[in-house]
Structure 1
Amino acid sequence: MNKVFAAGLKQLIIIPATLLAINISTSAAFAQNKFYSPIPLSNSTEFSDRLSDKDIPTGQGGFARDYTVKLEKGDNLAVDLSSENFDSIITLLAPDGSTLAENDDGPDGSSNSLLFTRIVETGNYVIRVRSFGETGIGAFKLKVTKLQPIK
């Protein structure tokens, strides 16, 4: 094979492969951002929802669903999670993604979850509803309340 032709062929193959790699990584990043979109909540919310096998896999056989809420410094927050279909865990993630608070079983001895915390930094927080271990999927009720001081 001619050396000039071989050098030209290498360049021809490398350039499209590089462009293809850039396109794949850009598409994956775009799809990833589009895929992860926590559900926005208002300040005081009570509603029913459902964990399914389409939600975020926990790596332990269960699934999780994320909700986002804007909280202010000094807010006192109560999060109540209950389900008759799975053993629930509630996690509050800080704006930087770190775990701020978590509760597995509520004070009543059930597998429902109850979390109280005081917010020390204004920002967008994530409330993660998930099932414990391989306990799975199903309906749940979530109540998020900003507690007010008694006057």
Structure 2
Amino acid sequence: MIGKAFVAGLQRVIILPATLLAMSISTNAALAQNKLYSPIPLTTSSSEFSDTLSDKDIPTGQGGYARDYAVKLNKGDNLAVDLSSDNFDCIITLLSPNGATLAENDDGPDGSSNSLLFTRIAETGTYIIRVRSFGETGVGNFKLKVTKLQPIK
């Protein structure tokens, strides 16, 4: 005969299938990741500002760091991105809404280690402008200018 205490204990046990438990854990991990990764929003059609790349930013895996900026763009927009720094060798990358690399520039046309990028947007969405240092060239201050170019009328 099974004792009443044993039966009462069984009534409190909840059995979850392993797949449901795994989905719950992975969803919680994804939510935690989203709280950690938050690109800095750019809200105007033309932004020019100074910022600092530091060892608190995204590690690139090559000894350098990256900082991301989110910008909403429309199909047909012409975009110019100018990145300069006296502290590190700059690389600018434009990532599409699905995370694919659309364009990248390491060294500007003037032969410096600054970066200049021009592109036309093919799809409306939120894009990521990634500022990063080349290899282990480090951290430091930089200037970023993002401009939606207007056609000449």
- TM-score under structure 2 normalisation? 0.83
Alpha-carbon offset, residue 31 of structure 1: 1.7
CA deviation profile, 1:76-123 (whole Å, cap 9, x unmatched): 100000000000000000111100000000000000000000111111
Alpha-carbon offset, residue 149 of structure 1: 1.4
Deviation >3 Å, runs of 4+? 18-27
Q: Say whether the 8 Å CA contact 1:43–1:70 is kept in structure 2.
A: no
Alpha-carbon offset, residue 23 of structure 1: 6.5
Gaps of 5+ in 1: 1-11
Indicate how the Cα distance of structure 1 residues 25 and 140 shifts in structure 2: closer, same or farther if over 3 A, else same. Answer: same
Q: Tell me the residue number matched to 2:77.
A: 75
Alpha-carbon offset, residue 50 of structure 1: 0.5
Q: Say whether the 8 Å CA contact 1:63–1:136 is kept in structure 2.
A: yes
Q: Tell me the residue number matched to 2:137.
A: 135
CA deviation profile, 1:6-42 (whole Å, cap 9, x unmatched): xxxxxx8xx69x7987765444322211001101002
CA distance in 2, matches of 1:47, 1:144: 9
Partner of residue 112 from structure 1, selected from 104, 111, 114: 114
Q: Tell me the residue number matched to 2:37.
A: 36
Q: Tell me the residue number matched to 1:9.
A: none
Identical pairs, percent: 82
CA distance in 2, matches of 1:80, 1:141: 8
- Look up the equivalent residue of 1:40 and give its one-letter code: P
Give the superposed CA RMSD: 2.3
Q: Tell me the residue number matched to 1:148.
A: 150
CA deviation profile, 1:25-66 (whole Å, cap 9, x unmatched): 444322211001101002210000001101000000000000
- Look up the equivalent residue of 1:98 and give its one-letter code: A
User: How many positions carry a matched residue from both structures?
Assistant: 140
CA distance in 2, matches of 1:56, 1:105: 21
Is 1:102 the counterpart of 2:84? The answer is no
Secondary structure at 1:34's aligned position in 2?
helix
- Look up the equivalent residue of 1:47 and give its one-letter code: F
